[in-house]
Amino acid sequence: MDGTALARRISEETAALAAKITERTGTAPCLATVLVGEDPASVTYVRMKQNRCAKAGITSRHVALPAETTTEELVATITALSEDPEISGILLQHPVPHHIDERAAFEAIAPGKDVDGVTMHSFAAMGFGLPGFVSCTPGGIMRLLAEYDVDLTGKHAVVVGRSAILGKPAGMLLLEQNATVTYCHSRTQDLSS
């Protein structure tokens, strides 16, 4: 499976859609990225997202907060972005520092701007097969499988991991496509079998 070619095509399609939105509204879509601290991997990841936005005709607004930021300060920042009509989507780069309540920060993202699919609203919509944003990596996996016409009906899918942003959503999306899903994780006995 060639994910690179698919990503390129999605990027081109996104750029065309962004151009239409910009023409219709007079304003380009805007992604707000929020980063707490200066973890080198996270800094690189956010920079990659900003570059991808630029290629797709989407503006980006980066909010860099110090590592000492409190949960309350982060929630206030995200709430302000949620209420800002110029912001189309919000992405909180995770993980956040350990002293921050990440769930509270995620829940400050307005559901219509939760492009990473991390809020309880998005998770529930995904679980019920309703419209909304799905978790990014599982959504990308499903898009790749669909691109290659992989029929999941009746297949036995094994998901290794149960995180709220990868394992659980991946299993739910597979189930939505009629696969039979087994979750395995760190406490699964005899995982190799």
The domain spanning residue 153 has which CATH number?
Answer: 3.40.50.720
> Are both 37 and 83 inside the same structural domain?
yes
Q: Using one digit for the tens of pLDDT, what is the confidence trace for 45-92?
A: 999 999 999 989 999 999 999 999 999 999 999 999 999 999 999 999
**% residues pLDDT > 90 (the chain):** 87
Catalytic member of 20, 50, 55, 93 = 93
Entry pTM: 0.87
Catalytic member of 39, 49, 50, 101 = 49
Q: Is the pLDDT of residue 99 over 90?
A: yes
| Residue 60 belongs to domain with CATH number | 3.40.50.10860
Q: Is 55 a catalytic residue?
A: no
Range of the domain at 93: 3-110
Catalytic member of 20, 113, 114, 116 = 116
> Are both 11 and 85 inside the same structural domain?
yes
Mean pLDDT taken over the chain: 94
Q: Is 177 a catalytic residue?
A: no
Q: Residue 193: inside a domain, yes or no?
A: no
| 8 A C-beta contact, residue 169 and residue 138 | yes
Residue corresponding to tokens 């007079």: 26
> Are both 16 and 58 inside the same structural domain?
yes
Domain total in the chain: 2
pLDDT band per the 50, 70, 90 thresholds, residue 165: confident
